[in-house]
Every structure is written in C-alpha cells, then in structure tokens.
Amino acid sequence: MIIDSVQVKKFWDAQAKKADQLKLEGIASLEEDAQLLEMKVSLEQTKIMSMINLAPASSYVLDLGAGTGQWALRFANLASHVVAVEYSSGMLAHAIEAARVANVENISFEHCRAQDYDTKQLFDLIWISGLLIYLEDDECDTLIKNCSAMMVKGGQLILRDGTGTKRRHEIRNQYSEALNTSYSATYRTAEVYLSLFERHGFRVVEHSDMFPEGSQLNKWDETRLRVYQFSKS
C-alpha cells in the first residue's frame, strides 16, 4: 500500500487545528506531552544548531517541510534569507503568523509539495525535517535530486527524520491513540538514506540518533529520530 499524499496533507491540516491546545512546536513534532516537548525542543535545538556554520550576510537557507516555521525562524537569525516550503495550508498559516509576530522579515513562504519545489536560487543550507517518512521512494529520490541541483558546492544539507532501527518499518492508515487519528509513514534505514544522498552527490559528514539510548523520547523499538549531516560534493 502506498502513502496517499492527499491523506498526508489532510493529516497535517488537522494537526494545524490543534493550535488552541498545543504549542506550535508540539503541533509540528507530534509531541503532546508538555514536559517531553520541552525536553525534546531543548535537546534538538542544541544538537542541530551546533552543526550549522553560515555567513549571516550572504547565506541562503531552504527549509523543506517547514511546518509551523519554528526552524525557519531560528535559521533567519543566522542567514540573509530563508525560503520555507510547506504543503499544508494550515501549517503554513501558522508559520506566516509566527514570523509576523516575531517581526522577522527575511523569510519567504512557498505553498507547495516539497518534492515539487524548484528554483534557480542556490542555497548554502538545506534543512529537511520530518518529511521523507511521508514520501514514496520515487518522491524521495526526486526531492534529493532537486536538492543537489539547488545547492552550492560545499553546501550543507541536514536531514532530521524518523529511521528504521533494524529494517524498513511501514505504517499504513494505522490509528494512533496519542494523535487521535490515522497515521501513515515509512521509516527507512540509515543505510538507505546514506545511499540515497550519496547517489545524488552528497557526502556524509556525520549521522546519529537525536536522543541518547534510554531517553524517554525514544518511544518505539522499531524507529529512532536521527539527524544526518551531508555536504555537497
């Protein structure tokens, strides 16, 4: 069974409607426990931001699957301009409002599927967060190929995504009590992700689990949230 992109969009549009119950970070990261969310945000921000090295006056950043815009806002402090791409109109509306409230003017927003986004602009950093698990294999390949074409030589790509621990793990239209809705995703192995990116001219710099072994944030044996850092050859 394939992942239905229409259903994925409906899922995220429904998530966006939880803004009266959850912080924007919780909506985007699917974490509804306030204490765990605070821990998750702190650990992720520390790990990710330590990887980034940009020239603020001239760097361009592409955020694919920008969600509620929280990472785009962080990158906006480090770069000349950020392009945030999001397919869910509800999530995008939150991102635009968050930038307005924060008085951040160097983010432009694009409403389209990440795998369809294409531009002549070359980026110094491409950020992909919690996105590839919702794409079919051919869509992943297209997105990574496009990223390679949109990146400066020596540029940095960081992937933050769910990963199968031992093998590919698929969820198809499975009801989640935590989210109170049906959910679909594909968790590829780390080896598969490394191969996909290397195929399109990326060199792996490092990759690791986002959270340490034994962390409360590692909720399922079959999957782990991992972060991958690549450089454009």
Q: At 94, which amino acid appears?
A: H
> Residues of the chain with pLDDT > 70: what percent?
99
Q: Of 190 and 14, which is predicted with more confidence? A: 190
**Residue whose token pair is 């160097």:** 106
Count the Cβ atoms, other than its own, within 10 Å of residue 5.
Answer: 15
**Residue whose token pair is 């540029």:** 155
What does the pLDDT look like over 10-55, one tens digit per residue?
A: 888 888 888 778 888 888 888 888 899 899 999 999 999 999 989 8
Measure the CA–CA gap between 172 and 187, rounded to whole angstroms.
11
133 torsion bin: left (phi>0), alpha (psi -120 to 50), beta (else): alpha
pLDDT above 80 for 180 = no
pLDDT above 80 for 178 = no
Measure the CA–CA gap between 232 and 213, rounded to whole angstroms.
30
SS3 assignment for 36-69: HHHHHHHHHHHHHHCCCCCCCCCCEEEEECCCCC
Dihedral of alpha carbons 188, 42, 106, 61, sign? negative
Measure the CA–CA gap between 111 and 58, rounded to whole angstroms.
24
pLDDT above 70 for 179 = no
Cβ atoms of residues 217 and 39 within 8 Å: yes
* Model pLDDT, residue 142: 97
Residue 1: pLDDT band (50, 70, 90) is: low
Cβ atoms of residues 54 and 76 within 8 Å: no
Kindly state the tokens that stand for 118: 């294409």
Closest CA to 123 of 146, 150, 86, 143: 150
Summary mean pLDDT of the chain? 93
pLDDT above 70 for 120 = yes
- Concatenating the DSSP letter of every residue in 112-170 gives S-GGG---S--EEEEEEES-GGGS-HHHHHHHHHHHHHTEEEEEEEEEEEEEESSS-EE
Q: What is the mean pLDDT of the segment spanning 82-106?
A: 96
Domains along the chain with CATH numbers: 5-12+62-232 (3.40.50.150)
Count the Cβ atoms, other than its own, within 10 Å of residue 10.
Answer: 15
